[in-house]
Structure formats: structure tokens, C-alpha cells
Amino acid sequence: MGSKYTKRYTEEFKRDAIALVDSSGKTVTAVARELGISSESLRGWYRRAKADRGEGAPGELTQRRTRRTAPAAQGEPRAAADDRDPEKSDLTTL
């Protein structure tokens, strides 16, 4: 099983790790192994950095959009279908 807490990395560490992937020609997994971090963590940082630079896959969220939309996605309930489509909201008036 894993650790009981999530390790936090500084933004500087993340930038340096991403730069190492870009400059070394090694895979994300190889760089993560050398740094002693999770390859999934580094892969996520790398994808987010690419999206922030405009190099990400179509539809991928940038860091700015992720931060702005995350609280709303976690805290606000979804609207019911009848709230979104006025034609479906009240079938009894027909």
C-alpha cells in the first residue's frame, strides 16, 4: 500500500523536472525514476506544462483553466436537465 500522505513538490522542482524531460531526450518514466518520484506525477506536470505552452492535445485544460474550474466542479451541484432546457422544464403546460 502507499503512503498515508501526499508529497508536495515546489513549483521550482516541477519546472526543473519538466525541463529535464525536454532537454535529456529520456522518457518521462526514466526521468521520474532518476528523481525518485512517481512517473504519473511527472507525466501530469509535463502534460499541463505543454498545454500551458499551447502544445497540448486539443481540449486539454491549461493550468489557469484547471484552477478556475476546479472549485466549481467539486462544490456546486449539477443543474437538473429541466434547468438547462426550457422546452423540457414543464410538460404540464402543454
Q: pLDDT for 60-78, tens place per residue?
A: 555 555 555 555 555 555 5
pLDDT of residue 82: 46
CA distance 54 to 48: 10
Alpha helix locations (H) across the chain? 11-24, 28-35, 39-52, 63-75, 81-84, 86-89
Mean per-residue pLDDT, 46-70: 69
| Residue-range domain boundaries for the chain | 7-57
In the prediction, which pLDDT does 77 show? 54
Is residue 79 a contact partner of residue 90, using CB atoms and an 8 Å limit?
A: no
What is the reported pLDDT for 61? 57
pLDDT tens, residue by residue, 9-33 = 999 999 999 999 999 999 999 999 9
Domain 7-57 maps to which CATH number in 1.10.10.10, 3.30.2320.20, 1.10.1740.10, 3.40.50.1580?
A: 1.10.10.10
Model pTM score: 0.56
